[in-house]
Amino acid sequence: MKKNAVIAFLTGLMACSLTLTGCSASDPAAGTAQEAAPAAAETADSGAAEEEGEAGGEEQEEAGAEAEEEAVTDQEAADAVTALIDAIYVQERTDETDEQCAQAKAAWDALTDAQKELVEDYDYFGRDTGDASKDDPRNQDDIGENEILVVSFGTSFNDSRVGDIKGIEDAIQAANPDWAVRRAFTAQIIINHVQARDGELIDNMDQALERAVENGVKNLVIQPTHLMHGAEYDELAEAVESYRDQFETVKIAEPLLGEVGADASVVNDDKETVAKAVTAAAVEEAGYESLDAAKQDGVAFVFMGHGTSHTAKVSYSQMQSQMADLGYENVFIGTVEGEPEETACEAVIDAVAQAGYKKVVLRPLMVVAGDHANNDMAGEEEDSWVSMFQASGSFDSVDTQISGLGSIDGIQKLYVEHTAEAMKQ
């Protein structure tokens, strides 16, 4: 350990000091007795001074060692919290998850402010993402016979969870007062994070479906808030299938963008609705009366999605086609993952620059404005989108809008429509 290495170093240093002192105290070349007496007195005075100096030096060394020990202890305490965070940063829930979440939070709370700064993932507990008490986990029992289960990937950013996910859930509940709306997240990592940090308990898919069974639900409608028929949607459908025989009816509604379509040129009413809604919201937030007014001012809007290797990645290309069909020449679609290739950050920077726009507004094409929006898009790191656009030197200004799709009225209405269509099946 670092502590042992420090002690060993100091011990060696002290031993060397004592040896050198012993050598200087003897003088085999002494002359007469008269010469020896003052020499001895001088040596004694010198030895006393050296001993006093050694004592002072030892005190300084001990103080340094104590400071080093304290620093090591602070880091060890921080590392212990990091290990506890790592233990719950997993996608599988176990019988130990609740206890592990409680342990991680208790360990964090026990740290001093200085120790918290040493935690590798300080933001896990230390970042302020808003007031979690404004959220509703919708994990209540007494559901009744009819349930709409709104399934989201989830976000640990409290303000976005309230404004985007809860916003969608509230809109669906308002449109269906005779049905009970409940929530499930598919990301256990996020569920654990919210539970550990805020004490808010959100059901995963299995927990939500078990709750529905135990409450005697007969008719179940699943409304995904996912953007497309991608991997998350497929996993959701698979999870529901294993419970299907425990309900009289089970229906799964469309994700936000509806059917995928065969190629990049295929668009539909859902994609048009989303394109118009997100563009209108971005233009208004940027302070322009219209998209054309922004264009005349040299402004391009870049909507950043997640991206995927799933075959549904063509949905992003279709959204770019949809923008073109609407005549939105200064709107560009990108993705964090750079799949499809033309949506990679470098490709989008090149496309915007070649089109001659000198001002850029970045905004997420995601249901929530969570980690990707705050960090991958608007973060201070050199590989964030805002940093890369700025570093290109092609633009006079690069601004960001941290707003999820879920908070837009037109998007909420589209989810309500999808739920209604599923009920009619």
Instruction: Residue 36: count other Cβ atoms within 10 Å of its Cβ.
Output: 13
Q: For residue 46, what pLDDT is reported? A: 52
**Mean pLDDT, rounded, of the chain:** 88
Band (pLDDT 50/70/90 cuts) for residue 41 is: very low
Over 90: is that where the pLDDT of 115 sits?
yes
The CA distance from 238 to 258, in Å, is 18
The CA distance from 182 to 173, in Å, is 9
The CA distance from 89 to 238, in Å, is 23
Sign of CA dihedral 184, 190, 193, 197: negative
Over 60: is that where the pLDDT of 22 sits?
no
Domain edges within the chain? 2-82, 269-409
Q: Is this prediction's pTM over 0.75?
A: yes
Q: b/e string for 152-175 if b means 16 or more Cβ within 10 A?
A: bbbbbbbbbbbbbbbbbbbbbbeb
Helix (H) or strand (E) holding 222: strand 219-224
Category of 202 on φ-ψ map: left (φ > 0), alpha (ψ -120 to 50) or beta? beta
The CA distance from 51 to 380, in Å, is 55
Q: Looking at per-residue confidence, does 385 or 2 come out higher?
A: 385
Closest CA to 263 of 306, 313, 310, 328: 313
Q: For residue 303, what pLDDT is reported? A: 98
With respect to CATH, is domain 269-409 assigned 3.40.50.1400?
yes
Q: Looking at per-residue confidence, does 46 or 1 come out higher?
A: 46
Q: What is the CA radius of gyration of the chain?
A: 32
Burial grade of 47 (CB within 10 A; 0-12, 13-18, 19 or more): middle
Q: For residue 51, what pLDDT is reported? A: 54
Over 90: is that where the pLDDT of 222 sits?
yes
Over 50: is that where the pLDDT of 9 sits?
no
The CA distance from 223 to 272, in Å, is 20
Decide if 338 contacts 376 (C-beta within 8 A): no
Q: Looking at per-residue confidence, does 23 or 208 come out higher?
A: 208
- Residue type (1 letter), 284: E
Q: Looking at per-residue confidence, does 91 or 50 come out higher?
A: 91
Q: What does each C-alpha distance from 139 to 99, 142, 208, 214, 226 come to in angstroms?
A: 20, 10, 8, 13, 20
The full DSSP string for 109-169 is HHS-HHHHTTSTTTHHHHS----GGG------S---SEEEEEEE---S-HHHIIIIIHHHH
The CA distance from 134 to 163, in Å, is 10
- Mean per-residue pLDDT for 374-398? 97
Please state, for a pLDDT cut of 90, what percent of the chain lies above it.
Answer: 79
The pLDDT tens digits for 155-203 are 999 999 999 999 999 999 999 999 999 999 999 999 999 999 999 999 9
